[in-house]
C-alpha cells in the first residue's frame, strides 16, 4: 500500500499586503496554507527580510554586528544606500531611536528630515519604526507618515496607548500599519479590531504580537504566532488574517549568548559565529510559525535566512 501524504485544507486565507513603489514594491501574505506547506494550499509570497538601520550610530549593538556597519552607520542615508547597493537589501527598516526622550529626544521635525533624505536616496521599500516610546511615537509617526506620503511605506508601531493618532496618520497618507501587542493572541485581536473600527482597511494592517530570541521565550512566541495564523486559516477569523511581523534583530543582539566574550565562556565557541547563528535560527523559527515580514541586523545572518527561504520555497 503506497503512502498518501495527509493534507489539511483551510477556509481562511492570510491577507496580502503590499508596500513600496513601482517595480521595487513587495508583497507579503496571501497564503492559504501554513508556512511553506505548498502541497496543502497556495503559498503566494515568500517572507520578506528587511535590513535594520537607525537614525543614529548603534552604540548599544554588540561589536560583532556593529562592526559590519562601522563605516556607514554614522549617517542613516549612507547606511541605507549601503544596505541597498552593497547588501542587496529587499527592504530597509529605519528605526528612529534618537527620538526617544532618553536617547536624544530629537524632534518629529528632525525625524522627518531623516526620513525624507533616506527616501530620496533609496528605491527599495521603507519601513519606518518609532522609538517604542508611546507618547513620543504618537507625534513622531504622524510627522513621518506625512513626510513619506506617496511612498506606500510601512509605519509602526501602533500600540494600545497611541494607536488612534497613528492610525489616523497612516489612513490619511495611505501607508501600511504595524499593530503591536504584548504576546497575547486576545490582545492582538482586540487591537486589530479597534484599528479597523476606525475605518482602517484590514488589508493594510500587519500584526506584531512581539518577538523573542532563541532561548528567551521563543517557544511561547512561536505558539502565539502559530495560534494567530491558525485562527486566520482554520477559523476564518478576519481579525487574525493580516500578515505577521517578527522584529528579530532587536531581541537577539542583546542577550547573553550574542554578547558574552569568548574569554568568559570559551566552551561556547566563536562569538561572531554564535551571534550570527542565533539571529538566523530565531528568524527561521519565526518564519515557520507564520511570520511574513522579518527585521534583522547581521548581513550574514540575513543571507543564511534567505538561503533557508529559498530551500523551503
Domain membership of residue 151 (yes or no) is: yes
Domain membership of residue 106 (yes or no) is: yes
Counting the structural domains of the chain, the total is 1
Render pLDDT for 21-38 as a digit per residue (tens, 0 to 9): 999 999 999 999 999 999
Q: Please, what is the Cα angle at 206 between 216 and 101, to 5 degrees?
A: 65
**What residue numbers bound the domain in which 67 lies?**
17-312
Looking at residue 147, its pLDDT comes to 97
Domain membership of residue 192 (yes or no) is: yes
For the chain, give the percent of residues with pLDDT over 70: 100
What is the C-alpha to C-alpha distance for residues 268 and 275, in angstroms, rounded to an integer? 11
What is the C-alpha to C-alpha distance for residues 101 and 108, in angstroms, rounded to an integer? 12
Question: Would you place residue 249 in the very low, low, confident or very high pLDDT band (cuts 50, 70, 90)?
Answer: very high
Render pLDDT for 108-123 as a digit per residue (tens, 0 to 9): 999 999 999 999 999 9
Domain membership of residue 5 (yes or no) is: no
Render pLDDT for 170-209 as a digit per residue (tens, 0 to 9): 999 999 999 999 999 999 999 999 999 999 999 999 999 9
In this structure, which long-range contacts are made by residues 254-257, counting pairs with CB atoms below 8 Å and at least 24 apart in sequence? Answer: 254/60, 254/62, 255/213, 255/215, 255/216, 257/214, 257/215
Looking at residue 284, its pLDDT comes to 97
For the chain, give the percent of residues with pLDDT over 90: 96
pLDDT at 5 over 90: no
Domain membership of residue 9 (yes or no) is: no
Domain membership of residue 8 (yes or no) is: no
pLDDT at 1 over 80: no
Domain membership of residue 11 (yes or no) is: no
Question: Would you place residue 4 in the very low, low, confident or very high pLDDT band (cuts 50, 70, 90)?
Answer: confident
Looking at residue 32, its pLDDT comes to 96
Average pLDDT over the chain reads: 96
In this structure, which long-range contacts are made by residues 114-122, counting pairs with CB atoms below 8 Å and at least 24 apart in sequence? Answer: 114/55, 114/76, 114/77, 115/144, 115/147, 115/148, 116/147, 117/76, 117/77, 118/76, 118/77, 118/80, 118/92, 118/94, 119/147, 119/148, 119/151, 121/77, 121/80, 121/81, 122/80, 122/81, 122/84, 122/92
Domain membership of residue 274 (yes or no) is: yes
The CATH number that applies at residue 214 is 3.20.20.20
What is the C-alpha to C-alpha distance for residues 106 and 136, in angstroms, rounded to an integer? 10
Looking at residue 152, its pLDDT comes to 97
Quote the pTM value.
Answer: 0.95
Looking at residue 182, its pLDDT comes to 92
Looking at residue 168, its pLDDT comes to 97
Looking at residue 6, its pLDDT comes to 86
Render pLDDT for 264-304 as a digit per residue (tens, 0 to 9): 999 999 999 999 999 999 999 999 999 999 999 999 999 99
Amino acid at each position: 500500500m503506497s503512502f498518501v501524504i495527509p493534507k489539511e485544507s483551510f477556509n481562511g486565507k492570510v491577507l496580502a499586503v503590499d508596500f513600496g513603489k513601482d517595480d521595487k514594491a513587495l508583497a507579503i501574505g496571501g497564503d492559504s496554507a501554513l508556512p511553506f506547506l505548498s502541497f496543502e494550499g497556495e503559498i503566494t509570497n515568500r517572507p520578506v527580510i528587511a535590513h535594520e538601520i537607525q537614525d543614529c550610530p548603534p552604540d548599544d549593538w554588540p561589536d560583532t554586528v556593529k562592526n559590519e556597519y562601522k563605516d556607514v552607520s554614522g549617517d542613516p542615508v549612507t547606511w541605507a544606500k549601503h544596505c541597498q547597493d552593497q547588501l542587496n537589501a529587499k527592504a530597509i527598516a529605519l528605526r528612529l531611536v534618537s527620538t526617544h526622550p532618553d536617547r536624544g529626544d530629537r524632534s518629529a521635525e528632525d525625524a522627518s528630515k531623516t526620513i525624507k533624505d533616506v527616501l530620496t536616496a533609496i528605491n527599495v521599500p521603507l519601513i519606518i519604526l518609532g522609538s517604542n516610546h508611546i507618547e513620543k511615537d504618537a507625534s513622531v509617526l504622524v510627522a513621518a507618515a506625512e513626510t513619506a506620503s506617496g511612498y506606500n511605506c510601512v509605519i509602526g508601531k501602533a500600540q494600545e496607548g497611541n494607536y488612534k493618532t497613528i492610525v489616523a496618520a497612516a489612513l490619511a497618507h495611505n501607508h501600511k500599519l504595524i499593530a503591536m501587542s504584548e504576546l497575547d493572541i486576545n490582545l492582538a485581536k482586540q487591537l486589530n479590531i479597534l484599528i479597523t473600527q476606525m475605518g482602517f482597511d484590514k488589508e493594510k494592517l500587519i500584526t506584531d504580537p512581539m518577538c523573542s530570541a532563541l532561548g528567551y521565550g521563543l517557544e511561547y512566541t512561536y505558539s502565539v504566532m502559530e495560534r494567530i495564523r491558525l485562527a486566520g486559516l482554520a477559523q476564518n477569523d478576519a481579525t487574525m488574517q493580516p500578515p505577521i511581523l517578527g522584529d528579530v534583530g532587536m531581541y537577539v543582539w542583546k542577550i547573553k549568548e550574542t554578547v558574552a566574550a569568548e574569554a568568559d565562556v570559551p566552551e561556547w565557541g566563536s562569538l561572531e559565529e554564535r551571534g550570527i547563528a542565533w539571529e538566523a535560527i530565531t528568524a527561521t523559527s519565526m518564519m515557520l510559525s507564520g511570520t511574513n515580514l522579518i527585521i534583522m541586523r547581521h548581513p550574514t545572518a540575513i543571507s543564511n535566512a534567505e538561503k533557508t527561504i529559498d530551500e523551503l520555497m
